[in-house]
Amino acid sequence: MLDSRIYTFLEVCKTLNYTRASVNLHITQPAVTQHIRYLEERYHVPLVEMRGKKACLTEQGRILERLAASMCADELHIQEALQNSMRRKEKLVMGATLTVGEFVIPAVLGRYLLDFPDTDISITVKNTENLLEMLEAGEIEFAVVEGRFDKSAYSYRLISRENYIGICGREFFQTYCRTGGIPMEALFQNRLIVREKGSGTRGILEQFLQTHNQSLDKFKNRIEVSNMGAIRKLAAANCGISFLYEAVVEQELERKVLYQIPVKDFHIQREFNFVYLKNSIFSEKYDTISKYFESWRGNI
C-alpha cells in the first residue's frame, strides 16, 4: 500500500492549492503542509513552491507527480491481479477510440482469447483525451488510440499507420471522378457526411481544412452521424461524400460498394498506438499484449 502522503501530494498537484486539497481529502491544511514537507525531506528535493496562494510544482515535483501517478494506477491493478489469482482468472481492462474499438479490437481479441481463454475483458470506447484521463486515474490498464497525443508523457508502441481517404458512392464516382484528381474546393458543392463534433475522424478533416484556410462550413450541406456503419451506408446510397480511414471501408472498396475519391494533394496518414503509463511495473505484460495488436491486420 502506498504512503497516504503520496495521495496528498497528488491532490496538491491536481488543485495547486493547499486549502482545496485539504477539503477534498477531509484533512486539515496543516496536515497537507506536513505531508508535503515529509516527502521533500524524504527525497531531499523541493517539490512545491508557493507563489502567493498558489502551489507550483518544481521540476522535481513534476517528476514525482508522473511517477506517483503510475504507482497509484499500478496499485489498483495489483489488487485486481491478486483477486483474479484467487479465481484463477486473468482480466484486461482497456480503452479504445471508436474506430479502433470497431475495427481493430474484434480482429485482435479472437486470437488473444484462443491463447488465453479464461480472460475476462472490459473495453471502454471513448475519445483519446478521455481515455488518457482514465489511464492516469487507473481506471483502465492501457488504451489503443488513433491520432496525436503527448508521446513524451506515456509509454507506447506503434500498431500501424492508416491512410485517411475520401469516399463516395457509385453515382458520384462515375459522375465526378473518372477524369482523375479533384481539388478539395470542388467537393464543397456536395453534401458532407461527417462524425459528430469532437471525434478524431472528424478532427483530421477539420485540421486539414484549417491549414488551407477552409472549414466544414464550406460544404453545401452536412449530415452529422456518430455511427461508422451509418456513414458508410449513407455514402454508398449517394447521400453525400465522407472522409474515413481506409481500413474502415476496405471491404466496401473491394466490392465496389464505395469508391475512393481521388482528391488532389490529399495524402494523410495517422498512427494507431498502444499506450500505457510510463514506469509501470506491468510494462512487460503490456508489451506482450501489444504484440497481438501490432499484427492486427493479419487477423482480418
At 147 the pLDDT is: 80
Strand partners, 276: 155
Range ranked top by mean pLDDT from 25-34, 45-54, 74-83, 239-248:
239-248
What is the residue extent of each domain of the chain? Answer: 4-68, 72-160+271-299, 162-269
> What letter represents residue 226's amino acid?
S
At 258 the pLDDT is: 96
CB of 94 closer than 8 Å to CB of 135: no
User: Quick one: which of 74, 22, 73, 11 has its CA closest to 48?
Assistant: 11
CB of 152 closer than 8 Å to CB of 234: no
Length of the chain: 300
Mean confidence (pLDDT) of the chain: 86
Assess whether pLDDT exceeds 50 at residue 300: no
Q: Quick one: what percent of the chain has pLDDT higher than 90?
A: 39
- pLDDT higher at 56 or 261: 261
At 86 the pLDDT is: 53
Angstrom CA distances, 131 to 94, 96, 206, stand at 9, 7, 21
Assess whether pLDDT exceeds 80 at residue 77: no
Q: Name the residue with cell 502551489.
A: 55
C-alpha span between 2 and 72 (Å, rounded): 7
State whether the Cα torsion 39-69-291-202 is positive or negative: negative
255 backbone dihedrals φ, ψ, rounded to 5°? -85, -5
User: Quick one: which of 17, 131, 11, 129 has its CA closest to 68?
Assistant: 11
Largest CA distance in the chain: 75
pTM, rounded to two decimals: 0.67
Assess whether pLDDT exceeds 60 at residue 85: no
Written as nine digits, the cell of 183 is 481539388
Q: Which CATH class is domain 4-68?
A: mainly alpha
Q: Name the residue with cell 463516395.
A: 168
**pLDDT tens-digit map of 130-163:** 899 888 888 899 999 988 888 988 999 999 999 9
Would the CATH topology of 72-160+271-299 be identical to that of 162-269?
Answer: yes
> What letter represents residue 238's amino acid?
N
At 1 the pLDDT is: 58
Q: Quick one: what percent of the chain has pLDDT higher than 70?
A: 91
At 56 the pLDDT is: 86
State whether the Cα torsion 164-102-190-235 is positive or negative: positive
Q: Name the residue with cell 474506430.
A: 99
At 103 the pLDDT is: 84
Query: Does 3.40.50.300 match the CATH number of domain 72-160+271-299?
Result: no
Written as nine digits, the cell of 40 is 521533500
C-alpha span between 180 and 178 (Å, rounded): 6
User: Quick one: which of 11, 21, 20 has its CA closest to 69?
Assistant: 11
Chain centroid offset of residue 55 CA: 30
C-alpha span between 149 and 133 (Å, rounded): 12
Query: Does 3.40.190.10 match the CATH number of domain 162-269?
Result: yes
Q: Look up residue 247 and give its DSSP letter.
A: G
**pLDDT tens-digit map of 213-233:** 999 999 999 999 988 899 999
At 143 the pLDDT is: 95
At 82 the pLDDT is: 62
Helix (H, G, I), strand (E, B) or coil at 7: helix
Confidence of residue 169 (pLDDT cuts 50, 70, 90): very high
Mean pLDDT confidence for 241-251: 93
Angstrom CA distances, 84 to 69, 92, 239, stand at 23, 11, 50
